[in-house]
Amino acid sequence: MRNFILTTISLILCITARITAGKTVTMQAGQNVQQAVDREGATTTFLFKAGTYHSVKVNPHDGQQFIGEDGTVWNGNGQSYAIGGAVGNVVIRNIEFTGYNAPAQHGVINSFPGGDGRSHGAHHWTIEDCEIYHNGGCGIAIGNNFIVRNNHVHHQAQIGLCYGGTGSLVEGNEISYCNYNAQYEWGWEAGGSKFKYANDLVLRNNYVHDNHGPGLWADFCEYNNTYEGNVLENNFAPGIDHEISHTATIRCNIAHGNSWGDRSTEWLYGSQIFLSTSDQVEVSHNVVRVTEGTTNGITMCLQNRGGGRYCRDNTVHHNDITHTVVGGHNGADADWDRYNFWTSGNNSFDNNAYHLVDPFAKYFRWGAPGSNNWSEWLTFEEFQGRGQEADGTMDDNMDPDVPDWWARECQDLFTYFASGYEGVIAKRGASRPAAARSRLNARLTSCGAVAVFVPEQVHTVQVLDARGRKIAQTKVTQRAALTVHPRDLSGSGVYLIRAYGPAGSFSTRLLVP
């Protein structure tokens, strides 16, 4: 059986070359940042020299930029947020934010959303190449037309990303280990992300894993959102949860190992991809793997959520779904208005490929037209008998080839790969995108050290443990293979290997068995 161990490959472009022309003010640790911000005014770029800046809390002016050299850390020392204000065109880049005590549902980087989450004072912000960790509340509260790109948001007390505004892009981020102490009930709002009233939101190429809650979660009256090219694994709740919202596209994502938590055995909730009382959603060309019998593949449910919300006109097609155990389901159910749901809901599954360890087991849920009953547990043939999967396929191959549609539909999206899945891609002749080539590689040697090879020139390699704590660092003088000997790398678990160089920073995840 192939193990899906994901390797994160994150490109961060050169920082200094991206500072725009205009007035630049150099900041040193110990200086009063807010005084400088107010003195210099709009459109100023602040370049922060490496060091730790304590208790910084900034209300920026329009068009200001906050750019950190490698090694720039803002330690909030309990401040409620780092940067926030009802202004536009702010840029935040290459800064570590830690030690902030943001309240629940408030961001360390804060768009100042209104009380209902509909309005945002902040707009057109760009937040790139930052690391946000060990803070209270939410890592980034996203406003209108934000770009949130190539950040590492981890070990947030409540949640990684929240809100979302209109027209925002969330791309290339790693979001992990949020709500790590299970301090918050995830069904309220906790885990990797929760976007509210977020319309025309694009969630692309993010690696979302090991959060105590959902991975990517959109909730409440959202329109025209796109989830594409994301890798979602080992989240406590669904990898993707699209709830009481509308008109979304969910395509070319890899989801497995999600929904292992406390609701996974209830009904059809505990899924890799879940549509909750939502309509006009297209779910296509995703790779889904179910490895626990109490979790599900792709499911949808109808409940009475008020406001005319309904589960209808959803299409699930051309997905590749593997169940390595007997158990778990794909399909739909309703606990309200069942007659109309089964008769005229217009939801469909078709052209999906299922790889089932037991092809005669009941992996599917659907009701009969005209029925007022709950869904029934069905075999694949019985599922087809309910009008689903007329052109779908089923086999018992636990090591399937890459889907025929992968190269055409999804290849160009991916910058993150499951190592086992790369082998499948290779044997089918599909090329890896250039963005995934010639990057950081790490392996565990027989003596317990970490061997790292970086094709690009780098100057520093770090090893961090699963809590985000730096346990080793090595300086590098030339492009070469090198060996890191962290004294504390003695236990099993997941380690983050990160390299820094003039071309940016690169990271990969190393699993120590």
Q: What does the pLDDT look like over 148-172, one tens digit per residue? A: 999 999 999 999 999 988 999 999 9
Q: Is 347 helix (H, G, I), strand (E, B) or coil?
A: coil
Task: Summarize the confidence of residues 34-41 as an average pLDDT.
Answer: 97
Residue 8: the pLDDT is 28
Give the CA dihedral 24, 25, 27, 33, nearest 10 degrees.
Answer: -110
Q: Is the per-residue pLDDT at 11 higher than 50?
A: no
Average of pLDDT values for 19-29?
A: 78
- Phi then psi for 186, rounded to 5 degrees? -65, -30
Residue 452 has pLDDT above 90, yes or no: no
- Which residues lie across from 91 on neighbouring strands? 65, 126
Decide: 256 and 288 in contact? Cβ < 8 Å: yes
Distances (CA, A) of 91 to 59, 80, 221, 270: 13, 20, 29, 38
Average pLDDT, rounded, for the chain: 84
Whether the per-residue pLDDT at 29 is higher than 60: the answer is yes
* Percent of the chain at pLDDT exceeding 90: 65
pLDDT band at 53 (very low <50, low <70, confident <90, very high): very high
How confident is the model at residue 475, as a pLDDT? 75
CA distance 235 to 353: 24
The rounded distance, in Å, linking the Cα atoms of 251 and 205 is 11
pLDDT at residue 401, as a whole number: 84
Tokens of 465: 């443990």
Please state, in angstroms and as integers, the Cα–Cα distance from residue 483 to each residue in 371, 419, 441, 458, 461, following that order. Answer: 64, 22, 12, 14, 10
- Strands 493-501 and 460-464 come out as antiparallel
Task: Give the CATH number of domain 24-237.
Answer: 2.160.20.10
Please report the DSSP string for 247-314 in residue order.
Answer: EEEEES-EEES---STTTTSTTTSEEEEEES-EEEEEES-EEEE-STT-EEEEEEE---STT---BS-
Angle in degrees, CA 30, 31, 37, rounded to 5: 145
pLDDT(466) > 70 = no
Reported as a pLDDT band with limits 50, 70 and 90, residue 262 is low
Per-residue pLDDT band for 430 (boundaries 50, 70, 90) equals: very low
Determine the Cα–Cα distance for residues 233 and 368; give it in Å rounded to an integer: 33
**Locate tokens 């082998």: which residue?**
423
Residue 429: what pLDDT? 32
The identity of residue 280, as a single letter, is Q
Q: What is the rounded average pLDDT of the residues 390-415?
A: 87
CB 372 within 8 A of CB 339: yes
The pLDDT assigned to 412 comes to 78
pLDDT band with cut points at 50, 70 and 90 for residue 405: very high
Give the domain 440-512 fold: Immunoglobulin-like (2.60.40)
Is the pLDDT assigned to residue 6 strictly greater than 50? Answer: no
Going by C-alpha positions, the residue among 421, 424, 428, 435 that lies closest to residue 253 is 421
Using alpha carbons, list the distances in angstroms from residue 59 to 40, 107, 114, 464: 13, 13, 17, 32
User: What's the pLDDT band for 4 if we cut at 50, 70, 90?
Assistant: very low
Distances (CA, A) of 67 to 26, 86, 270: 10, 20, 41
SS3 342: helix
pLDDT at 20: 46
Which residues, including other chains, have CB under 8 Å from residue 80's CB and lie 6 or more apart? Answer: 57, 100, 101, 102, 103, 106
Q: Work out the average pLDDT over 300-315.
A: 94
Write out pLDDT tens, residues 348-385: 999 999 999 999 999 999 999 999 999 999 999 999 99
**Domain residue spans of the chain:** 24-237, 238-246+270-398, 401-437, 440-512
Residue 90 pLDDT more than 80? yes
* Length of the chain measured in residues: 513
Residue 292 has a pLDDT of 85
State which amino acid sits at residue 86: A
Answer yes or no: are the C-beta atoms of 71 and 475 closer than 8 Å. Answer: no
Tell me whether the CATH fold assigned to 24-237 matches the one assigned to 440-512: no
CA distance 227 to 242: 10
Q: What is the mean pLDDT of residues 91-99?
A: 97
Question: Other CB atoms closer than 10 Å to residue 391's CB: what's the count?
Answer: 10
